[in-house]
Every structure is written in structure tokens, then in C-alpha cells.
């Protein structure tokens, strides 16, 4: 599957395209198929996202899993500061990245 | 240290307003990201993996307690309670909001700080010796020269769109604590016929094509200092490559032209530039230098120390250096606790270091290129009190220049350019070698980790260097041996095939075993490597 | 194409600029265009007959033209010095300091933003090709 991701313009937060808007949680991301570039263009023009790009991912029971480690780290947060990730209470969150 | 006058204040205040206007235009959609990017970069604002990152300049690594407290305040108010000290003596915040950036700059300006030219293809923060003004081996304090260059280079109209970024370091001691010859321009202040001037090295750097800067001019007196550098930069601006960003640094120009030809071009340009009258007068140097006058030392400060506490004695031997003033010492506070994140400090730790500086070090602190903090002027009689307070704050790791005093870039945990993570590897290595007795047995051993070939972690200059690469989506680490960023500067050599994260920790251990077995009396790891060459290390590592 | 912005009181020069090669090969041209990689010093023997030098900025990141401008002004050129190409509003104050006094940006420039930007800095640290006095001269006279 293909996901569309980027950063929120004013805050810089990592965001994922949900089909209707942007979410901070990769679990909310949807397959954009071949529409990624078009959505990116429209959303960037409307300043709802900064630097959007399309990535490969696989569908898993827990939600989409980005193919590249860099995007998995973006989805979670820094592996060396679990307290600052999106899942501070999950001791195994880091292993999802690797 | 340097204090702003009305002109400095006016310029920095104008910059805050300029950037506020640029951010506002971006948020309002009047400029695109493509147009905004070079503007925000020239103010040290990056878009990184998780958020915007703001790099605050610490000119030549010197700051006072008020500035340090402000860094802590910003960490709490606008970031997530910590900051990261960098190899260019700056500080980075990892979780900045674009909409807050103008207010942060306004806060910084109240304590004479800024983020001017901490990124972009311009002249970056001028770096220097963290022991400047305190080192027993220095000829003079290099910081007045660095401040002169800070002013000359700030908003330089001709050199704001160079082919690539440009880094300058200034030192004035025999020992090179600033990796001077691995800068685009390295300057060593020397004395000739009773006058001070600069040895000028040009074309060093790390990155994907590491080079050691050759000597371009053996003496440039103060009267010609700015003109000569203007000529150096103009030749680069005109002839540096712009067709390929990976070949755009000045080191490539000098490599292609040859150092002699480059020097000849600079001489010719210098003749034209010198006639313009752009060199500040001696009175300006003297004005700046007066800000760096030695503090009011206590002439009766005692040299005797009570070493009866063994943990304190280890810290004394490892992290305390000789000061030029009797009864005083230089303290390096390690930001490398075993298992910690190299260069990170919490807002509380930053505040504590500020308090210690105010109370015990004539209100001065330094940031080192090895990502540690220095209290430069401490009475020996106060060392034990300082050590106790540092210990209580987790800041008393006695590992300066030992294997766990690792330089590491932020790596793939934070950086959008990285190919591999650096910090977890630094943590594993430090943990493997955590025993302080073992570390001290290994002696001076500078280990440096970069998460990609841009070499922000100085891996080329590590006695042991590590380069993280991406091998088909998996982190992989290459090992280098034999680099040095000091006065015995050299570039490391890759040992051979790369390793997994655990594999490379084992490989380092095998390399250090070779050293312990083969070393001659008094040899450091680097010396033994230089004497024996790669072969015995390679054999042990790959067996 | 944006409007021509001029900071001169004389009439705009009408004659089209010729290439550097073309200029050096003929004796009567009074306007020349310098490409980013060309050596402005080739013009130095001919400055007295030049009324317009147009300096090309093919990309805003390409800063060679800033040196071109200063070299010409430092050599005494007083005619029109025009920056043409990918010239952004935030770059014009720097170009003014390098001696440029007219601008032909490819994209229109917001004149209100430009006016604010040109007026923003009261002081400059270093000497350049404009009339601004470097801060050290303010300090020491």
C-alpha cells in the first residue's frame, strides 16, 4: 500500500493522510493508491501540510507499517526517548521500529 | 566575554523582525516552501524527522549564566525540556513549532543571542578553542579574532549565497582542541616580529570527501586580516562549483585548482580588496579584546587539593585541566553519562551548569566541539563542591577523552538526512566499556559516530570512527581507525566490511584488545595504530 | 515577469544588452549582459563607455553575481547595474549592498514587503559596495 505523509506547517508535527484530513497517528493512514501526488499537491497548496511525500507500506493487523525505518521512526518518535514518542506507556513500542 | 553595544543590539533586533515577517509570509501563503527554505535555513531552522529543529548560535562556544538560563527557559517553554549541544559548539532544539520561532528569537535577543547563519550556504558560527583565555598553552585569547569574524560575516551581502556552507575555526595554541584543519578555513593566531597575525589553512572538511586543509598563507597580520579572508571567500564564491552540491565545498575547489594556484588567486584578489579600506582599525580589535580581559583572579588561590575521596580523585585526573593562573583549573563537564545521549542536557541540568558558572567560574561557560560543557576559570578550592553538585545532577561522569566520551550526531532518531541511528550505538559502546578502570586503562581514545556520510559526528577524525549506512533498509556500520582532529590531524581508514549494531561493538572490543596487547610504553591507541598499521587490527577484527 | 525596479534617477537604458563576447568584440555597444560564470574583470578596461551591465541570476541559490556586482563597483563603474533572473524579494537588500541599482526579477516582487525589507537594518557590520558605513566606523569614526 501507499501512504501519504508530511509535516504540519505551523507546528511541524508528523502527519498522515486519513482520506479526509491529516492525523498524527499512522494507524489512521489510508492507502492512497496512485492519488498520492495529486492529494499532496492540493493539500500543500492549501497549506494543510508541509513537504508531503508518498511512501510504501504494508497493511498489518495493527495498522499500516511504513516500509522504511526512517518513516517508522517518524511514525513513533525517537527510539532513544520512549517518553517522547506517541506511545510512552508501551515498553515494546521501540521494537516495532526495528 | 563580549557584550553587545547599541549597534549589535540593533542588528539582532532587526533580524528578529525580519524573520518574524518571513515566517508570517510563509504561514499566510505568500511564499512557498521552496522560497522559504533558504530563508529559514539562514536562521538555523530545519524541518527534521519529528518537527522543526532550531539551531541556536553560541559564538565560539562562549556563554554566560544568563544566556545558559535562557537556553533552559526556551527548552521548557517552547520545546520538550532539553537541548542538544553540537559539534560546532551550538545548541539544537528538536521540537520547535514554526509559529513559535520568532518569539524564541526575540527571547534569545534579550540575552544577546541569535540563530543567525547557523545553517544555509553562508559563513556559519565561528568556532574556537573551548579553553580559550584559560589554557596554559595558548599564545593569546583567540576569541577577539573570532568575534571580529562574527561581525564581519554576519549578513555579509556578498557571501550569503555561497556554493555551499562555510565553517571557520580560530585557535591560538599549539594543541588543537577545535579540529581547526578540518574546517573550510582554519586560523591559528601566531606571533611574528612582535605582531600577532594568522596562519591561514583553507580547504579542510569532513563530509563525503574528507580533506585536511593545506596552509595557504603563513602569516596574515591583523591589518590585513579581514581583507585577506574577504579575498579567500570571493575566490570561492566566484569559482567554487555550483553544478553539483556534493562538489561545492571549498575543499573541492582547492583540490581541483591546487593549493598553490588557489593561494595565487587569493593574492591577486587580496591586492584589489586591500585597497577598499574594509579592515577594521586596531582600535576596534582593542575594543573587542577588552571584553575578553582575564577575570579578577584571586592571587592567593591555593594549588593544594584534598584527593582523599577516590571518586573525586578520578574525576580530577580525568576532567580537570591545567589553567594558566596558579590556583585555578579548567573543568570539563561530561555530557556523556554511560547509556545517555551524547550532548543532550535537560533544562534542569542546563540551569545547574549556569548556576555553577555564576558562582564558581566568573560567570562563564563554554561548549566544546566534543559536545561537553566547560567551566573555564575555577578555583581549585571549589572543585570538590562543584563535583558534588554535578554528581547529584548526573553530570560527573569522569570520562573526558576516554572511549565513552563519544561524539555522536543525532542520527536517524532525529535527523532527516541520516541513514542509521547513532545514539543507540553510542549507548551500547559506552555500556560495554562502562567500567572506569577499564576505560582509563585504554587511555585517550576518541570515538566518533556519524549516522550518514555528511559526517556531522566527525567519524573521519575519530581514533575510532563509525559511519552508519543503509544497507537495503537495514542499519549497517562501517568502522574506521586512525583519524584525529587534533594537532596531529589525520583521516581514518575503513577497516573493511561493515557490521550490525552488535557486531560493531564486538569489533571495537577486538581492536582495543590488539592495542592493549601490542602497545609500547606511553602509547595511546592512535599511536599504536600508527606504528603498526591496519593489518593486526584487521586480522583481529575479521579473524 | 516582474516590473523593472530602479533605484536611479536617470532614464532607463534603452539599448538591449549584448553578451560579454559580443561586447568585447565590438567597440560601440553600451550595454552588456554577464552570465553567472563569466569574469566581470574582462569589462574593467571598458567601464567608461558602459551605461548598463545586466548580471544574470539563473537560480536564486547562485550567488556569483553578488561578487560580479561588487567587483564592478569597486573598479569605479557608475552606470546602471541590473540584477536579472531568479531574484527574490529577500535578496534585493543584499544585492543593493553589492552595488545593484536596478532589478528585473522573473517573478513579481511585493513592493510593500520590499520597501519594509530595504528599510529594516539601520546598521551593517561590514563595508560593501553601497554607501553604508560599517559598524566599526560608527564606533571609531
ipTM of the complex: 0.97
Average pLDDT over residues B231-249: 97
- The Cα–Cα gap between B430 and B439 comes to 10
Best to test chain B binding among A9, A11, A12, A40 (most B CBs inside 10 Å) = A12
How much is the pLDDT for C15?
A: 86
What pTM, to 2 d.p., does this model score? 0.97
- Position C22 pLDDT exceeds 80: yes
C-alpha cell at B381: 578550592
- Which residues on chain C are in Cβ contact (under 8 Å) with B158? 63, 66-67, 70, 94, 98, 128
Taking only the tens place, the pLDDT of each residue in B70-88 is: 999 999 999 999 999 999 9
Within 8 A by CB and 6+ apart from A4, the residues are: A16, A17, A29, A32, A36, A39, A40, A52, A53, A54, A55
Best to test chain B binding among A45, A80, A85, A94 (most B CBs inside 10 Å) = A80
- Distance from C96 to chain B by nearest Cα, in Å? 9
How much is the pLDDT for C3?
A: 86
Check CB contact under 8 Å for B99 and A11: yes
Residues of chain B numbered 203-232 and touching chain C (CB < 8 Å)? 226
Task: Give the Cα-Cα-Cα angle B350, B354, B360 (nearest 5 degrees).
Answer: 140
- Which residues on chain A are in Cβ contact (under 8 Å) with B416? 70
Least confident span in B94-98, B316-320, B342-346, C20-24: C20-24
How much is the pLDDT for B543?
A: 85
Chain C: touching chains (3 or more CB pairs < 8 Å) = B
Residue of chain A nearest B412, judged by CA positions = A70
- Position C1 pLDDT exceeds 90: no
| Distance from the first to the final alpha carbon of chain B | 54
- On whether the CB atoms of residues A26 and A38 are closer than 8 A, the answer is no
Check CB contact under 8 Å for C121 and B283: no
For residue C37, give the CATH number of its domain: 3.40.50
* B106 C-beta neighbours (distance < 10 Å), count: 15
Taking only the tens place, the pLDDT of each residue in A31-71 is: 999 999 999 999 999 999 999 999 999 999 999 999 999 99
How much is the pLDDT for B215?
A: 98
How much is the pLDDT for A98?
A: 86
Task: Please provide residue B314's backbone torsions phi and psi, each rounded to the nearest 5 degrees.
Answer: -65, -45
How many domains does one find in chain A? 1
How much is the pLDDT for C28?
A: 86
Check CB contact under 8 Å for A14 and B424: no
Instruction: Establish if A78 touches chain B: CB-CB under 8 angstroms.
Output: yes
- Position C2 pLDDT exceeds 80: no
| H or E, element range at A30 | none
Check CB contact under 8 Å for B38 and C117: no
The pLDDT > 70 percentage for chain B reads 100
Check CB contact under 8 Å for B38 and C62: no
Average pLDDT over residues B88-106: 97
How much is the pLDDT for B501?
A: 93
- The Cα–Cα gap between C22 and A85 comes to 63
How much is the pLDDT for B483?
A: 98
How many domains does one find in chain C? 1
Cα atoms in the Cβ-side hemisphere of radius 13 Å centred on B101: 39
In the numeric block, the cell 545558559 is attached to: B68
The pLDDT > 90 percentage for chain A reads 92
Task: Please provide residue B459's backbone torsions phi and psi, each rounded to the nearest 5 degrees.
Answer: -60, -30
- The Cα–Cα gap between B327 and B309 comes to 20
Of A55, A44, A46, A97, the C-alpha closest to A73 is A97
- The Cα–Cα gap between B507 and B541 comes to 5
Check CB contact under 8 Å for C136 and B278: no
Task: Give the Cα-Cα-Cα angle B133, C136, B281 (nearest 5 degrees).
Answer: 70
Which of the pair, B511 or C26, is modelled with greater confidence?
Answer: B511
How much is the pLDDT for C13?
A: 83
Instruction: Establish if B97 touches chain A: CB-CB under 8 angstroms.
Output: yes
What residue ranges in B270-334 does DSSP mark as E strands?
320-322, 328-333
- Which residues on chain C are in Cβ contact (under 8 Å) with B231? none
Contacts across the B-C interface (CB distance below 8 Å): 108
Q: Per-residue DSSP letters for B26-89?
A: HHTTSS-HHHHHHHHHTTTEEE-SSSEEEEEB-GGGEEEHHHHHHHHHHHHHHSSSEEEE-TTS
Domains identified in chain B and CATH numbers: 6-109 (3.90.480.20), 134-289 (3.30.413.10), 310-392 (3.30.70.3340), 407-542 (3.30.413.10)
- The Cα–Cα gap between B118 and B44 comes to 5
Average pLDDT over residues A68-81: 96
Best to test chain C binding among B157, B276, B282 (most C CBs inside 10 Å) = B157
Check CB contact under 8 Å for C125 and B151: yes
Taking only the tens place, the pLDDT of each residue in C51-108 is: 999 999 999 999 999 999 999 999 999 999 999 999 999 999 999 999 999 999 999 9
Check CB contact under 8 Å for B97 and A79: no
How much is the pLDDT for B284?
A: 98
How much is the pLDDT for B473?
A: 85
Domain that holds residue C133: 5-140
Taking only the tens place, the pLDDT of each residue in B181-237 is: 999 999 999 999 999 999 999 999 999 999 999 999 999 999 999 999 999 999 999
Taking only the tens place, the pLDDT of each residue in B10-30 is: 999 999 999 999 999 999 999
Task: Give the Cα-Cα-Cα angle A87, A90, A96 (nearest 5 degrees).
Answer: 80
- Distance from A3 to chain B by nearest Cα, in Å? 16
Task: Give the Cα-Cα-Cα angle B165, B167, B173 (nearest 5 degrees).
Answer: 175
- The Cα–Cα gap between B198 and A36 comes to 56
The pLDDT > 90 percentage for chain B reads 99
- Which residues on chain B are in Cβ contact (under 8 Å) with A51? 33, 47
Residue of chain B nearest A48, judged by CA positions = B27
Among the partner-chain residues B7, B17, B160, the one whose CB lies closest to the CB of C94 is B160
C-alpha cell at B26: 510563509
Tell me what the pLDDT averaged over chain A comes to. 96
Domain that holds residue A53: 2-97
| H or E, element range at A87 | none
Amino acid at each position: 500500500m501507499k501512504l501519504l505523509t508530511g509535516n504540519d506547517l505551523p507546528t511541524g508535527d508528523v502527519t498522515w493522510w486519513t482520506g479526509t484530513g491529516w492525523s498524527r497517528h499512522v494507524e489512521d493512514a489510508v492507502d492512497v493508491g496512485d492519488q498520492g501526488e495529486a492529494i499532496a499537491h492540493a493539500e500543500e497548496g492549501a497549506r494543510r501540510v508541509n513537504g508531503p511525500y508518498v511512501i510504501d507500506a504494508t497493511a498489518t493487523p495493527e495498522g499500516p507499517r511504513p516500509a522504511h525505518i526512517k518513516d517508522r521512526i517518524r511514525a513513533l518518535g525517537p527510539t532513544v526517548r520512549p517518553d517522547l514518542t506517541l506511545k510512552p506507556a508501551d515498553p515494546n513500542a521501540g521494537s516495532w521500529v526495528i | 566575554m563580549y557584550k553587545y553595544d547599541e549597534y549589535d543590539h540593533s542588528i539582532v533586533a532587526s533580524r528578529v523582525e525580519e524573520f518574524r515577517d518571513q515566517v508570517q509570509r510563509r504561514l499566510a501563503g505568500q511564499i512557498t516552501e521552496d522560497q522559504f527554505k533558504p530563508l529559514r535555513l539562514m536562521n538555523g531552522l530545519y524541518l527534521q524527522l519529528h518537527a522543526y529543529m532550531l539551531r541556536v548560535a553560541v559564538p565560539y562556544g562562549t556563554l554566560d549564566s544568563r544566556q545558559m538560563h535562557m537556553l533552559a527557559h526556551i527548552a521548557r517553554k517552547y520545546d520538550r525540556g532539553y537541548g542538544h549541544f553540537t559539534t560546532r559548539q551550538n545548541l539544537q532544539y528538536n521540537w520547535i513549532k514554526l509559529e513559535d520561532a520568532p518569539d524564541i528569537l526575540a527571547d534569545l535577543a534579550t540575552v544577546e543571542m541569535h540563530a543567525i547563519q547557523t545553517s544555509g550556504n553562508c559563513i556559519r558560527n565561528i568556532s574556537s578553542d573551548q579553553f580559550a583565555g584559560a589554557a596554559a598553552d595558548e599564545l593569546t585569547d583567540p576569541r577577539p579574532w573570532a568575534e571580529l569574524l562574527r561581525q564581519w560575516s554576519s549578513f555579509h551581502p556578498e557571501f550569503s549565497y555561497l556554493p555551499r556552507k562555510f565553517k571557520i575555526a580560530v585557535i591560538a595554541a599549539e594543541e588543537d582542541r577545535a579540529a581547526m584543519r578540518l574546517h573550510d578555513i582554519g586560523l591559528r593566531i601566531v606571533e611574528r616580529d612582535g605582531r600577532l597575525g594568522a596562519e591561514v589553512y583553507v580547504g579542510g572538511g569532513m563530509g563525503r570527501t574528507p580533506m585536511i586543509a593545506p596552509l595557504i598563507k603563513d602569516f596574515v597580520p591583523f591589518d590585513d586580516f579581514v581583507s585577506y579572508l574577504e579575498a579567500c571567500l570571493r575566490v570561492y564564491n566566484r569559482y567554487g562549483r555550483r553544478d553539483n552540491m556534493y562538489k561545492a565545498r571549498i575543499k573541492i575547489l582547492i583540490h581541483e585548482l591546487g593549493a598553490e594556484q588557489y593561494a595565487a588567486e587569493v593574492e591577486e584578489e587580496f591586492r584589489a580588496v586591500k585597497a577598499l579600506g574594509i579592515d577594521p582599525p586596531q582600535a576596534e580589535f582593542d575594543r573587542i579584546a577588552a571584553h575578553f580581559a582575564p577575570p579578577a583572579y584571586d592571587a592567593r588561590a591555593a594549588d593544594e587539593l584534598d584527593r582523599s575521596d577516590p571518586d573525586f580523585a578520578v574525576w580530577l585526573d580525568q576532567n580537570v585541566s591545567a589553567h594558566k593562573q596558579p590556583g585555578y583549573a579548567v573543568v570539563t563537564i561530561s555530557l556523556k553519562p554511560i547509556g545517555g545521549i551524547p550532548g543532550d542536557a535537560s533544562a534542569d541540568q542546563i540551569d545547574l551548569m549556569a548556576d555553577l558558572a555564576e558562582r564558581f567560574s566568573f560567570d562563564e561557560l563554554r561548549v566544546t566541539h566534543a559536545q561537553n560543557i566547560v567551566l573555564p576559570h575555577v578555583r581549585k578550592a571549589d572543585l570538590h563542591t562543584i563535583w558534588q553538585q554535578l554528581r547529584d545532577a548526573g553530570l560527573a561522569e569522569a570520562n573526558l577523552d576516554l572511549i565513552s566520551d563519544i561524539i555522536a550526531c543525532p542520527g536517524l532518531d532525529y535527523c532527516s538526512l541520516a541513514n542509521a541511528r547513532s545514539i543507540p550505538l553510542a549507548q551500547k559502546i559506552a555500556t560495554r566499556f562502562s567500567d572506569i578502570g577499564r576505560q582509563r586503562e585504554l587511555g585517550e581514545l576518541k570515538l566518533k559516530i556519524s549516522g550518514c556520510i555528511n559526517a556531522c559526528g566527525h567519524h573521519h577524525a575519530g581514533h575510532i570512527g563509525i559511519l552508519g549506512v543503509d544497507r537495503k533498509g537495514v542499519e549497517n556500520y562501517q568502522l574506521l581507525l586512525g583519524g584525529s582532529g587534533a594537532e596531529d590531524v589525520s583521516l581514518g581508514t575503513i577497516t573493511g566490511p561493515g557490521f550490525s549494531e552488535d557486531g560493531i561493538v564486538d569489533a571495537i572490543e577486538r581492536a582495543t584488545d590488539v592495542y592493549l596487547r601490542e602497545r609500547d610504553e606511553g602509547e595511546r591507541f592512535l599511536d599504536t595504530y600508527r606504528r603498526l598499521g591496519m593489518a593486526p587490527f584487521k586480522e583481529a577484527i575479521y579473524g | 515577469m516582474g516590473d523593472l525596479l530602479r533605484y536611479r534617477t536617470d532614464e532607463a537604458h534603452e539599448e538591449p544588452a549584448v553578451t560579454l563576447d559580443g561586447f568585447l568584440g565590438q567597440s560601440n555597444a553600451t550595454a552588456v549582459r554577464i552570465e553567472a560564470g563569466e569574469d566581470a574583470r574582462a569589462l574593467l578596461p571598458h567601464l567608461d563607455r558602459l551605461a548598463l551591465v545586466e548580471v544574470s541570476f539563473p537560480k536564486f541559490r547562485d550567488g556569483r553575481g553578488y561578487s560580479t556586482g561588487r567587483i564592478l563597483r569597486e573598479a569605479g563603474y557608475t552606470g546602471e547595474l541590473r540584477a536579472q533572473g531568479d531574484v527574490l524579494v529577500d535578496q534585493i537588500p543584499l544585492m543593493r549592498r553589492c552595488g545593484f541599482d536596478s532589478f528585473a526579477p522573473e517573478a513579481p516582487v511585493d513592493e510593500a514587503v520590499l520597501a519594509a525589507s530595504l528599510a529594516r537594518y539601520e546598521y551593517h557590520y561590514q563595508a560593501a559596495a553601497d554607501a553604508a558605513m560599517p559598524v566599526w566606523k560608527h564606533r571609531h569614526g
